[in-house]
Chains A and B, each alone.
Chain A
């Protein structure tokens, strides 16, 4: 039983008293904090980017196209990236006065930034998101959003803990042709769903290190910060130039998530499995299988598609199937289903009202609306969490080369200690979360 009674007065006067005796929280570098202070008007959302590589800038462009975004800061551990990003937005978008940071903690410390776009390498996404949430920032994070099963859970817990808005970069949830396909499956137009197929890459995992190269100075490339929470290894330029994929410490799971984060996500959506995951996983070559509790089979495969573009999905039911991909084109059978398709696409997939599969515009808009009205976005942290856990479990069955049984209610592999061990990694100091 609660005995105290709270009113705003009590809460706030107590707060004021505390403020009177306290200093500015010194976790914030004083100079940065001093510069802040200005509170942005609610109708403009102030934004910073963390990780300004190719995908980051492409996402950023979508943000800058929106009328209610004010862009303030760029952070990247590589000097050439942060500078060329600044140059581009100044030239192409007329942005002025945007600050550069090497360490994202300095960016997060700015009180005048509402939201961050996180587009670092995979191994940084969850940590950066969690720190951003701790600073009260709303987060748009590129996928894959967390590189272990446990980290997925920690991510969504932190997002909920601080009550911030989180959008995972699985923008196909906001794109017409994919929505149409999922809709058809969910409305039962295909009959009882039997199989859901997700396009993926060929899998690959690398456990070794690239040869050591001389360490650049931190201002040019801050290798310690690039590594972040991942175990130490010697510097090699290849990693920082984007060739970190498939390396176990940096990749979410043998390159599987790169597409699967999108395509398995759409399958999860079609099956109605958001918040859950398949209960059994196995692999044959580069084809990964999952089985949902209701008997629907998840098939992730790199080949055998109809050629409708990247990141294809296919849903098969007792009465028909539908397949679509990044081209925007849709194929269905039997013919009677053609009547169900929404008139969103012309024959080359360019849409009247929609966009190409990699285009995050609608997804970004959805995020910005939610930043304002505090609603849950299309790919909120709970959805992101369950989709990624399904992907991790599938990739683990491939890496371990055996069937895995999984309980999605408590994230536990049944009778497989090794698989359970691979759900967790320790983080390099000082990156505690």
Chain B
């Protein structure tokens, strides 16, 4: 039973909350009153515990008040501060309402107890209510420890003179748990006073906190902040030094933190002076820090450490890393040697660091290393040429194609592919090399990498496809599949066409690979090939697969709707399997719905519409009828030039101005021949005003002059958005007319009078009366 109740509430509140959300950005007296009444009806009738369903309703009412509540909600909210289930959002609401809400919170500090009080204190702290300081100080003595600690924290957030002084006193007098809490609160307060440029108070706080080393985190934070503030450089440096050389982990960590954040050259100097006395783990970290600081004066020391045979591996690794971070060419030789190291971490760091070096002589040094005796150096040089795309190396690299060493050869292929500006002519020699049957696996892989790179960046794509086609009878099946990969990388219409030809290969492996690639094709160009294969491929497996690829393109690519519709129809006639048919049907329906509703207003011009344009204008992609500047002397209509019979009309409407009235005419006609009222339009009207009144009602304008069907006003109240956009849908099918407001059906009317026309124009009205505006936009129609 309870469940049912909740569900009913859920439905109700879902509508009403979306209604609130869509309103303008101001607090609403009307909405406040409504929600306060909900709360009163739940909590003021009797003293019994609310049911789950009532709690739910109440929570939603409170939630709405967080967003639109006014001062009027404060008394009722204040009562709920002690309600454990609701008080969190009650506080959100009170804070949001502003002064009156904060006064209520402040007053509650005296009257509320236990857990709820903790929440109130939190909120007082979050709004930094200085007027609560006296009460908060009292609460720091509360017998409930959590209450007392919360009060301490709140005092820290408020950070007034008196709250800071109270915290200092707690720090110096109370027992340890409160001392920690107030140390923390003081740290928070220091942030606040720094925001107001009161460095003096902040420094006073830090210097007090320095005395509490037992609160490690706070202590370390205070020291860090103090050093970064750097009020007394000489003292600060002395302090930094002592932290740095301390054996205490926390002190060292604090020094490291500061060292990567302050610029003073003295910091580097201190680190360098003391470097040798540190144990290896700390030494390694400090060397990294020198790198992060880009400390050029450390270069000689770093080179010495990196080259030393006696240093610890971790320390050496850090030195190599630091040489890379500093990026000076002076380290290049050391780095090259590191790459050569048998220690994996050192060698890896060397490679990473080499990649970071900068300088004009860099390229020269690297190219020179292509002649080095040491093979690792030659390989490294090739790798760097590849990564940095050092084009000057091209001739030397090409020579290495004939090197006797397979590793060198392979690296040369890769480097070559990176440094050239690739054209189709570059493909051919590489493909010949690949075709050679005596390649080792390693060389083959290198050639493949090089070919991939060339194809990925090649700019003469059609010519490249021609070159690849020349090799299509390449003997090895793996090579043939690889050619397909290359076509995929080239990724243009021509390469797609050739891939599709491969897809029909008698060889199953080739067909499999080609269809797989087509299914992932990067552009919609693959569509015609895919549908062709889906229809005609001899194998069912590939017909199914290519159809999936085709559907993927319809679904994922941003194609025009009309094109998508044509495509889905093709897919529909091709599909054989039940699962595919179902997917296609869903997609088709989706496209159809979008397609059916065609815009009949282009957002920019009155094309397709006619009327007295002195009362209609276009703004923000909407038609605006009337004006808020002056009265509307008589009814005015903007009408379609076309007539509609059976249709679904979608549009969005916003009505502004007190007492405004407007409406949508349909199956109507102009009374242009009526001399007394040539401005009028006769026929069905979906009526509307600036309030929920008449919304969703069907009126017979200038004809029978009465409401043909009316909406349920209570229901409309839950969905209507005042002064905002509302969606209206009109569905006319033969004798039947249905109106929907914001997705909810309001009227289901069947016309019994055979004489009433079932066809006519559509018109947008602004009713005569005071200054008012009716905005109409996104006007779409399905026929």
Please report A residues at the B interface, Cβ cutoff 8 Å: 1-2, 4-12, 14-19, 22-27, 39, 41-43, 134-136, 157, 161-163, 207-209, 211-212, 230-234, 248, 303-308, 329, 331, 335-336, 338-341, 343, 346-347, 372-375, 399-402, 413, 415-419, 421-422, 424-430, 432
Contact = CB atoms under 8 A, between A and B. Distances in A.
B314 interface: yes
B556 A307 contact: yes
A427 B122 contact: yes
Contacts of B13: 207-208
B48 interface: no
Contacts of A416: 25
Contacts of A234: 52
Interface stretch (B398-406, B456-464, B608-616): B456-464
B270 interface: no
A415 B21 CA distance: 16
Given A15-B210, A42-B249, A373-B260, A157 B191 contact: yes
Interface of B is mostly: helix
A307 B557 contact: yes
A150 to B, nearest CB: 8
B459 A336 contact: yes
Contacts of A419: 25
B488 interface: yes
Contact of B86 (A232, A335, A336, A425): A232
Closest 8 CB pairs of A and B: A15-B213, A8-B242, A416-B25, A136-B217, A304-B558, A426-B91, A14-B211, A429-B119
Interface residues of B, number: 126
A211 B3 CA distance: 6
Given A339-B421, A417-B26, A426-B123, A207 B520 contact: no
B96 A421 contact: yes
A399 B25 CA distance: 12
Given A18-B212, A307-B522, A417 B260 contact: no
A341 to B, nearest CB: 6
B239 interface: yes
27 contacts: A2-B232, A5-B235, A10-B210, A19-B213, A23-B175, A25-B214, A27-B177, A161-B187, A162-B187, A163-B225, A207-B13, A209-B59, A231-B59, A231-B86, A304-B556, A305-B556, A307-B522, A339-B422, A341-B456, A341-B457, A373-B285, A401-B22, A422-B67, A424-B126, A425-B89, A426-B126, A432-B153
Contacts of B88: 230-232, 425-429
Nearest to A426: B91
A6 B239 contact: yes
Interface of B: 2-3, 6-7, 9-10, 13-14, 17, 21-27, 52, 56, 59-60, 63, 66-68, 84-89, 91-92, 95-96, 115-116, 118-119, 121-123, 125-126, 146, 150, 153, 175-177, 179-181, 184, 187-188, 191, 200, 203, 207, 210-221, 223-226, 231-232, 235, 238-239, 242-243, 246, 249-251, 253-254, 256-257, 259-260, 281-282, 284-285, 288-289, 292, 314, 386, 414, 417-418, 421-422, 449, 452-453, 456-459, 461, 485, 488-489, 520, 522-523, 552, 556-558, 724-725
B188 A161 contact: yes
Contacts, number: 265
A418 B461 contact: no
A162 B359 CA distance: 39
Nearest to A421: B96
B257 to A, nearest CB: 4
Contacts of A23: 175-176
A305 B556 CA distance: 6
A421 B66 contact: yes
Contact of A425 (B92, B153, B200): B92
A335 B461 contact: yes
Contacts of B458: 335, 338
Given A14-B210, A207-B63, A424-B95, A26 B176 contact: yes
B67 A8 contact: no
Given A372-B288, A424-B92, A12 B459 contact: no
A400 B184 CA distance: 38
B3 to A, nearest CB: 5
Contacts of B215: 25
A12 B254 contact: no
